[in-house]
Structure 1
Amino acid sequence: MANHKSALKRIRSNETRRLRNRYQHKTTRNAIKKLREADKKEAETLFPTVISMLDKLAKNNVIHKNKAANLKSQLAKYVAAL
């Protein structure tokens, strides 16, 4: 167990961040699934919000920036093909 005050705080803050990252990542994955199941009109309205979610995850290093770019590209291609 940690002995320093700063180490104890780091443990608490890491846990808070981990839970927030997990929640945001799961929410984004669910949004992507919802977009893929939606019809054309609904998919076009969901698309910008999903892209924004992916950008935020990449910015905060929850997912890699290239993974975000690949997902955005795939989704853009999918929505355009509907």
Structure 2
Amino acid sequence: MANHKSAQKRIRSNEAKKLRNKYQHKTTRNAIRDLRATTDKTEAEKMFPTVSSMLDKLAKRNIIHKNKAANLKSGLAAHIATL
């Protein structure tokens, strides 16, 4: 249990940040899943920039590693190219 006011505030703010990060990460994973499930190339090409920017934002905020974001974007681009 935290004894200082600042430590109690840190606990509250960490919980809020954890929930926000979890929401953003889950939303991005769902967008990736939807893009991979798409069989229409034009629709996939239209979705790719938004998913790519979502991954970049997660990497910028250290929710995921920057190399993981790059690998996911590369894999999605390859998937779109094969459609």
- TM interval, shorter chain, is over 0.9
Distance in structure 2 (CA, Å) of the matches to 1:50 and 1:81: 18
Counterpart AA for 2:9 = K
**What is aligned with 2:29?**
29
Paired residues in the alignment total 82
**Is 1:4 matched up with 2:11?**
no
Query: Counterpart amino acid of 1:53?
Result: M
Cα distance in 2 for partners of 1:72, 1:14 equals 29
Q: Which runs of 5+ in 2 are unaligned?
A: none
SS at match of 1:54: helix
What amino acid sits opposite 1:3 in the alignment? N
Secondary structure of 2:13 counterpart:
helix
TM-score by length of 1: 0.97
Separation of aligned partners in 2, 1:17 and 1:42 = 33
Runs of 4+, deviation exceeding 3 Å:
none
The TM-score normalised by the length of structure 2 is: 0.96
Q: Which ranges in structure 1 are unaligned for 5 or more consecutive residues?
A: none
Q: How far off its partner does 1:81 sit? A: 1.4
Alignment of 1:1-82 (within 5 A): 1-38=1-38, 39-82=40-83
